[in-house]
Amino acid sequence: MDLHDFLRRIPKVELHVHLEGSVKASTFVELARKHGVKLPPHDKPEDLYDYPDIYRFLQIYDLVARAVRDRDDFRRITYETLQEAAEHNVRYREMFWSPKVHMDLGVPYDTAIDGIRDGIRDAERDYGIRCKMIAGINRMEPPEKGFEMVKTVIENPRDELIGIGMDYAEADNPPEKFWKAYRLAAQHGLHLTAHASEDAPPRNVETCLDLLGCERIDHGYHVIEDEALTRRCAEEGVVFTVCPISTAWVYFGNNLANHPIKEMARRGLKIMVNCDDPPMFKTNPTKEYIVMAEYMGFSPADFREFVLNGIDGSWLDDPTKRRWRREWAWEIDKLMAQLEKEAG
Ligand SMILES: [Zn+2]
């Protein structure tokens, strides 16, 4: 066993993956054909996921959302991404999706969430992987739209939908815009998270924690620009869901060695590892760990800690968290011992 095998074999939790960003290129092409969605010229499906810049990425992301329309489409894309995750030993995922994007395209909320539910159940039956969903607010829209989305989620409860998040362009769309939507969600027992300080000052992390009541932070890279806030987050054990490959590409000049993730961990922040939009950034759950080992110098013991941080940051019940922490730590220790023996 070498380091790559080790990183593939360790059990994983993921808390930051977007369903619409997880559609395989070949599935995207098939669904686009099925629903008459016109695609840009391409030789093979994967070419569609080659973009020169973020604008083209967003354009393709929008086309993917347009290509997913009926219940079976949602079942299929959910099943396929969970199947892939299970191959990388992801055992539990909390996954974002954007209900409003589909509703605005004429897809009823029920159709989408029930298809997703079918996919989750089929994947658990076939691969043992578990998954829960987080409904994402599009922060580029007016606050009323976010509030309405939360109302829709509350009026159509499903066991698989356990929280809300907030994504899309952060600049000019600070989290305080959506305080009412978050308050409503909290009143109805939904869990809370948000993309924050991914591309904006550290203040957004503070707003998410103190005003919106977020239980964890997605990305949060700019938090390290505020020393006091960084210390506070480290002391309180706030979990940050980091995504090395996608954000290196979009924000940090594709320079993984200089990605703030390295500094976040050095300052004692509780980070855990995710693949964000795997096929769209040509990544997968294991590859994120590999680049962190290769470009940021993290060790097997660091990854052990990141995995356990993922359990802590999840919205599983406490007895399950305690049990998984114990069992997974033991399992990873065994793999570490094997890795050391074979290396040395
Ligand atoms: Zn994200």
At 99, the pLDDT band (50, 70, 90 cuts) reads very high
pLDDT at 282 over 70: yes
pLDDT single digits (tens) 233-263? 999 999 999 999 999 998 888 999 999 999 9
The torsion angles phi and psi of 52, rounded to 5 degrees, stand at -75, -25
Other C-beta atoms within 10 Å of 293: how many?
17
Q: What is the pLDDT of residues 28-44, one digit of tens each?
A: 999 999 999 999 999 99
Predicted confidence (pLDDT) at residue 279 exceeds the cutoff of 90:
yes
Write out the two tokens for 303. Answer: 């990854």
Between CA 8 and CA 248, with CA 27 as vertex, the angle to 5 degrees is 50
Cα(257) to ligand 1 centroid in Å equals 20
Mean pLDDT of 116-131: 98
CATH code for the part of the protein at 3-23+68-343:
3.20.20.140
Tell me, in angstroms, the distance from the centre of ligand 1 to residue 39's CA. Answer: 24
Please give the average per-residue pLDDT across 274-290, as a whole number: 97
Active site residue 225: no
CA proximity to 55, closest of 197, 219, 250, 220: 250
285 CA to centre of ligand 1 in angstroms:
14
What residues contact 29, with CB distance under 8 A and at least 6 apart? 39, 45, 48
Q: What number is the average pLDDT over the span 150-164?
A: 98
The mean per-residue pLDDT over the stretch 317-327 comes to 98
Q: Out of 20, 84, 198, 206, pick the active-site residue.
A: 198
